[in-house]
A and B are shown apart, each in its own frame.
Chain A
Amino acid sequence: MRFRDVFSIIGPAMVGPSSSHTAGAARIGRVARLMFGECPGSADIQLYGSFAATYRGHGTDTALVGGLLDMTTDDPRLPDAFAHAEAAGMTVSIRPGKGLYPHPNTAELTLVNAAGDHTLRLTGTSIGGGNIEIVRINGFSLKLTAAYPTLIIRHYDEPGVVAIVSALLVDSGINIARMAVDRQSRRGEAMMVMECDAMLDRVLTDRISQLPGVQEISLLAM
């Protein structure tokens, strides 16, 4: 189901004026920030569809930047996000994207840290009422809603990786609500995303990160 529960319909609490163009944009920005793990030195933001057509009036750009600064949808500082970005030393470029896009409200973010040795490319869609779907991460086509604690694992495509990670989750009594896997090539780089019904503890994430075949893991909890 695209919309999972009552609070995806009633809510979120947010600063106006648009749930899809402001609150959803803030959430996409915040997912990118949490996945990136540090304040970006630069953010290149490409907007598509209705995002590109109407972002100024809705503060879509402001909200994305606010999210990149770890602000929530009802953060009173949100309207002044650009000033906060400048203070934080983050440069921002906003431009209309070219080519096909997956949803009328789509933003493509490329984040680079100040040292220039850490990059994240992420495509997010705002599907209505402040709900979002991240549909692409560093070239992998996946789907995650950020509504659950989400395990994001970069790994090698080999038999058993998904099964072993799932088994560890089962041992901890954690249920997987949704999951997605994509790979660059057979036996090449791959990524899996697991949206879980409960929070994972440090012991569990450490064990998963040490599994053979696993390159890197991150845990997203909004």
Chain B
Amino acid sequence: MNFRTLKELAGLAEARSSTLGELMLGEQCQESGEDRDSVFRQMLEYYLIMKTAVEQGIRTDTVSKSGLTGGDARRMSAYREQSPSLLGEHASLAMTYALAVSEVNASMGRIIATPTAGSCGIIPGVLISSQERFGWSDDQMVYGLFAAGAIGYVIANNSFISGAEGGCQAEVGSAIGMAAGALVDIRGGTPAQAIHAVGLALKNTLGLICDPVAGLVEIPCIVRNGFGAITALGAADMALAGVRSVIPSDEVVQVMLEVGSAMPESLRETAGGGLAQTPTGRRITRDLQQQS
């Protein structure tokens, strides 16, 4: 890849008068030695799997392997049909789709890690709901996934994307930043605006701990995906309106690295602290151990 920072990424895209998505497709072809068609097809296949996961989470009764979670996307769908949601039509749909994909993941269904399985609901949630709203083509969405991938590539190589290394900020936080930047890119914002969206979004999740109850990717992961979808929409809107991340986005990524490295191990996916060690969290863990 010809870029290491978000600033370099935006600079390259501007110099070549391309979107972040187009730029990343070209970079990927160069990196892999494969032609444009096959690289594009691979990403399209991933997008279609995401759509199937949304469909599955909305239409079927998902129950997680532990039996602890499931059915929240269907609850949201039913509620949206009964009365106007407080969030509004679009944001509540994005949230519902994000919950759907996360629930499919928890039930050992098939998903695409974006960038991880714990955060797999956010990008499909915002992209698929926005596609329905704005009538974008699948091809446009695939470019959006390349844009999200470019942003994630920088975050992953300069900081981290796993909860075990850097807490939930690294997973859900990164996914929100990627989704926000991708939305700006598809919507016709400038590369600089897309990068501002990343910084704005990441600042909102700095310090978020990874504290899954019983160590499962369920509580609080699933609802955090739902909330994450809304934050991504908000960050994209701010950036498109011209709001800037005064602390440059690359510096925010460095803060994520600093904060994640300082996070105690008990708050990095070990279920040794946070929600996992509340009285109820401990009771759930005990109950599950007795069942198995």
| A residues lining the B interface (CB < 8 Å) | 1-20, 22-23, 49-50, 53-59, 74, 76, 78-79, 104-105, 126-130, 197-198
Contact = CB atoms under 8 A, between A and B. Distances in A.
Contacts of A79: 65, 108
B33 A58 contact: no
Given A197-B33, A198-B33, A15 B161 contact: no
A10 B66 contact: no
Contact of A18 (B43, B118, B161): B118
B227 interface: no
Contacts of B292: 56
A143 B277 CA distance: 36
A128 B174 CA distance: 12
Interface in B166-197: 170, 178
Interface residues of B, number: 63
Interface of B: 1, 24, 27-28, 31-33, 42-43, 45-46, 49, 64-66, 104-118, 120, 123, 145-146, 148-150, 152-153, 156-157, 160-165, 170, 178, 212, 214-218, 265, 268-272, 288, 292
A59 B110 contact: no
Closest 3 CB pairs of A and B: A54-B215, A128-B162, A16-B105
Given A13-B46, A54-B271, 5 more contacts: A3-B156, A18-B217, A53-B271, A57-B288, A128-B115
A17 B269 contact: no
A148 to B, nearest CB: 10
Nearest to B276: A54
B110 A74 contact: yes
B33 A22 contact: no
A175 to B, nearest CB: 9
A50 B146 contact: no
A105 B164 contact: yes
14 contacts: A6-B150, A9-B148, A9-B156, A15-B109, A16-B217, A17-B106, A19-B116, A49-B164, A54-B215, A54-B271, A56-B215, A57-B65, A128-B170, A129-B162
